[in-house]
Amino acid sequence: MVNASRNRFGSRPLAVLLSLGLLALLAFAADSAAAAEPEGARIKSYEATITSSQAGGHPDLSIDFEVGTRIDPLLDDPCGCNDIKDARVEFPAGFIGNPHSVAECSANQFLVDRCPVDSQVGLARPDVLLADGCCAVPGWAPVYNLVPEPGQAGLLGFKGYYFNFPIFTVLSARTGGEGPHGSDYGLNAEVKGITRFFGLVRFKQIIWGVPASPVHDEWRFKKGGGFPSGTPTASNLPERPYLSMPTSCLGPLKSTLVSIAYDHGVHEADADWPETTGCDQLGFNPSLAANPSTVEADTPSGLDVKLKVPQKESPVTPSDSEIRAVKVTMPKGFSVNPNAADGKTSCSDAEANFKSMDAAHCPEFSKVGTLSLNSWALPEPIPGGIYLGEPKPGDRYRLIITADGFGTHVKLPGSAHLDPQTGQMTVIFDNLPQAPLTEFDMHFFGSERGLLATPERCGTYAVQSEFVPWAGNLPNQYSTQFFSVDTGPGGGPCPGATRPFSPGFRAVGATNGAGSHSPLSIYLNRDDGDQNLDTIAVKTPPGFTATLKGVPSCSEAALAATAAASHSGRDEQATPLCPADSQVGVSSAGAGAGSRPYYAPGKVYLAGPYKGAPLSLAVVTPAVSGPYDLGNVVNRVALKVDPVTAQVTAVSDPLPQILEGIPLRLRSVLINLDRKGFTLNPTSCNPFQVEGILAGTEGASAERFSHFQTANCDALGFSPKLKTTLRGATKRTGYPALKAVLTQGPGESNIRRAVVSLPHSEFLEQSHIGTICTRVQFAADACPAASVYGRARVMTPILDQPLTGPVYLRSSNHPLPDLVAALKGPASQPIEIELSGRIDTDKTGGIRTSFDAVPDAPVSKFVLEMKGGKKGLLVNSENLCARKHFVNAKILGQSGARANQKPLLKAPCGGKPAKRAKRAAKGGER
């Protein structure tokens, strides 16, 4: 028969271990270790009986077993090698003894036969052979409760009636092991080194359930006296239970005797143990109080938990049911603090010694709290610790509690379950040992890296508890307890209905040289008590760009795989899935309440078009802290480019607020774009600002500015070159095509403004201005095809491919339409730039086009080609070949430098100018 309750539970409290002490008396007669039987049955018989099966009752216990000896007719053992050497009795789980309920006899008192009468807990009678084949000698001897040695839960001792050498029984709890004889904190009683001087034939032991009861007076030995001779001896102690029955009505159960012979043969026998009855007569009234270590909102916190399970210690009334499981649900908002595991490790099951009788050896860096465990079977509480348990699939947030004292090593696993949407925490300790726990005090560390964090607002919060009794026919008990959060962070006023939002923001360049490549760092943060950060938008100054040439994008497939559950945070740390050459920076995210957040490092990659933006960044942060790996957070940042100024506005996706049940309470974000030769300063030294537009989770927004200004603009060169060419008709009233090419060398100031006036030889042919694209059509990228009058191409050293696009006439507020080049990059980087020129006439009457807002971006070559013929906007006012014509160009640099020039307007005329003029005169052309 297998004890179902003992199989179910892998751990038992100290109280159970102490109980073992009582039973240990019996243990001398039996030692458990199941194994195969060698020749013959070494255990001939084994019985374990109790005087009552009442659950929680305090019956007397009797052990009786008979073993084979050297004269056994079934054995040929003249050397006595088959005599019993060690014996162990394993009692059903939940059957306990309390060696601290009676007096103890010291070693000196025991050796000189002066044990106090109050230390007697029963009787023992070993039947031994005085000689081979002769004379089994019975005799009763008192069993005393002795002072245990260090590391022993309890110790019993007696001396044989006809021989005066002592026999000791060590009591212990099954705090480790596998199978029906381990991990249930049941009581073991063990005797080692039974002498071969006498051959043990039979052993009988009686342990009293209430040793001080008058019913035992006739069998109580006087101090220093011999066998009782009819004169009752009363105990001086109050009647207190020494033995207690299980408080679960399971069964039938069994008790197991294991014997080990001198030849190392192992023998095992089971004795039936009656089913426990009367569980409905037991009481069960536990309570739990849980209080944070601070009354401040949105603050790191410890937690003090006090679990009480009242137990009766009456000799006539059954003990209350022991507690089998407890579930504690903390209020919403009281959550795990993200920085709690930073620098921590975990305690593995092997280090916890769950399968060993030894004490746990959890690493100190896995410790998150302290423990004090009390039991009515203990003389005083025993200390312990609370540790982070090694995460397991489906059970990530494990706890291990340990306590050691009085020869008992408690090791109990628990679990914290976090709601993935709200972070609400439920802590469960299931399969608690069937032992008389009376008080269970836990303190989780607080301070700036407290394991937990208080709710974000003041108020009264409920802690709900559910208690499961070992007495299965009793109902579960429930309780609700409240705690208050009375102030804001730091003792300030409580937050209102909407929390404030005043984040900090800074943008700093590594160097301020105009036109130089310089890393840019952006840092923002918020205080405890503020709204959490939701989205971040950063608008860079005009002219702040980046060299994308040669930088590949991390693909959408790689980013999806990075965010997938199959790719852990540690996998990403070891082998990032985005190409290394697509990395453009690093990041750091600070999370957690208090002044010491946990900082999670990450990497910033260039990525492709996203949410309508031509480019994006992907910030990849492995969520790894201490023993916990929560995967990877991938936050996309759309890079929107203003088509007129080329200013970049970076807009993040909503920031994650909770990850695997842990509210992040994001405190800071740092982005450092530090790739060499990537970010590029403006070539204007005007004072600018980096603008941050930050949104909170409760609807608030904040606009922040950080000063930005470059220097040494006067050191930049500025020598752009303009070439203009007409093609096609050269005669008067002809409609030539125009090609203008502007080139510029590297490292120069970029162009701010350009005004180009054509010579008086070219007029605007207004009759050819047919279809004009409206501003609405242009904004919708729906200009009619007939509104296209040319094409433009821009080559820049910061892009792999040129920007190209049509040139439109677009409606304007001026008398003439504007000339607008709609430039666009390739599909991989579809950057759009709008270069708009205002058309009018200069004081000489020539056509003038003014480009008043040229983006501060490096351009190595700009090509403008306007159509001729019937779609041509130019008409010759004279024969182009009669003389030279020059273009007047006024070009202003972003640095303030000027490069005015008058390039020749080339025309397709053959020969030298004088000959062309004569031919023109003969032909009547003017």
User: Which is more confident, 890 or 596?
Assistant: 890
Give the pLDDT of residue 134. 60
134: tokens are 């002769």
| 19 has a pLDDT exceeding 50 | no
Looking at residue 14, what is its pLDDT? 31
pLDDT for the residue 178: 58
Task: Note the pLDDT of residue 461.
Answer: 98
pLDDT: is 14 or 211 the higher one?
211
What six digits make up the tokens of 614? 């031509």
pLDDT in tens, 826-858: 998 999 999 999 999 988 788 999 999 999 999
Nearest Cα residue to 160 out of 123, 132, 118, 119: 123
Q: What value does the mean pLDDT take over residues 137-162?
A: 86
Residue 307: name the closest of 176, 477, 447 by CA.
477
15 pLDDT above the threshold of 50? no
For residue 709, give the amino acid letter.
Q
CA dihedral 649, 653, 657, 659 (to 10 degrees): -130
> For position 37, what pLDDT does the model report?
41
Strand pairing class (721-727; 905-906): parallel
The residue with greater pLDDT, 848 or 185, is 848
The 10s digit of each residue's pLDDT in 240-270 is 999 999 999 987 889 999 998 887 888 999 9
pLDDT band for 454, please (50, 70, 90 cuts): very high
Whether the CB-CB separation of 431 and 9 falls below 8 Å is answered with yes
- What pLDDT score does 163 carry? 67
Whole-number Å distance between alpha carbons of 105 and 125:
20
The predicted pLDDT at position 370 comes to 96
Cα gap 597→297, rounded to integer Å: 16
Q: Tell me the per-residue pLDDT of 431-444, one tens digit each, with 9 for 90 and over.
A: 898 888 899 999 99
Q: What is the pLDDT of residues 564-579, one digit of tens each?
A: 999 999 999 999 999 9
Does residue 132 have a pLDDT over 80?
Answer: no
| Interatomic CA distance for residues 141 and 125, integer angstroms | 6
Mean pLDDT for 207-214 is: 96
Tell me the two tokens of residue 66: 């008979």
CA 389 from centroid of its chain's CA atoms: 13
How confident is the model at residue 80, as a pLDDT? 55
- Statement: residue 641 has pLDDT above 50: yes
Average per-residue pLDDT in the chain? 89
Interval 158-171: pLDDT, tens = 987 666 778 899 98
Q: Is-contact 660 565, C-beta < 8 A?
A: no
Selected residue with higher pLDDT from 914 and 252? 252
Q: Could you please report the per-residue DSSP string of 627-669? A: TEEEEEEEEEEEEEE-TTT--EEEEEPPPP-EETTEE--EEEE
Q: Is 832 exposed, middle or buried (0-12, 13-18, 19+ CB in 10 A)?
A: middle
Give pTM, 2 decimals. Answer: 0.85
Instruction: Please give the Cα distance from 593 to 302 (Å, whole number).
Output: 12
Assigned token pair, 798: 């910061």
pLDDT value of position 720: 97
Q: What is the pLDDT of residue 473?
A: 87
Q: What percent of the chain has pLDDT over 70?
A: 89
Confidence tier at 551 by pLDDT (50, 70, 90): very high
Model confidence at 914: pLDDT above 60 = no
Query: Which residues, 6 or more positions from 88, have their beta carbon under 8 angstroms from its beta carbon?
Result: 27, 30, 31, 32, 33, 188, 189, 190, 191, 257, 258
- pLDDT band for 547, please (50, 70, 90 cuts): very high
pLDDT value of residue 152: 85
**Of residues 875 and 37, more confidently modeled:** 875
CB atoms within 10 A of CB 843: 7
pLDDT of 229: 55
Amino acid 232: pLDDT: 85
Q: Where are the beta strands (DSSP E) in 208-316?
A: 243-244, 253-261, 266-273, 287-292, 300-301, 303-308
Burial 492-513 (b: 16+ CB within 10 A, else e): eeebeeebbbebebebebbeeb
What mean pLDDT do residues 540-545 have? 96
Supply the pLDDT for residue 915.
54
Which range is least confidently modeled, 128-137, 313-322, 486-495?
A: 128-137
Q: Give the per-residue pLDDT at 230.
A: 62
Structure tokens at 483: 């705690």
Residue 147 to residues 25, 107, 150, 154, Cα–Cα distance (Å): 13, 7, 9, 8
Give CA separation, 191 vs 63, 202, 259, in Å. 14, 15, 10
pLDDT at 139 over 50: yes
pLDDT band per the 50, 70, 90 thresholds, residue 357: confident
Which pLDDT score, from 0 to 100, does residue 263 have? 79
Q: 917 pLDDT exceeds 50?
A: no
Q: Which of 360, 325, 330 is CA-nearest to residue 346?
A: 360
Give the pLDDT mean for 113-117.
Answer: 93
Residue 38 has what pLDDT?
42
- Please tell me the predicted confidence (pLDDT) of residue 176: 75
Per-residue pLDDT at 131 exceeds 90: no
- By the 8 A CB rule, do 621 and 605 touch? no
Alpha carbon 547 to chain centroid distance? Answer: 37
Residue 215 has pLDDT above 60, yes or no: yes
Count of other CB atoms within 10 angstroms of residue 170: 25
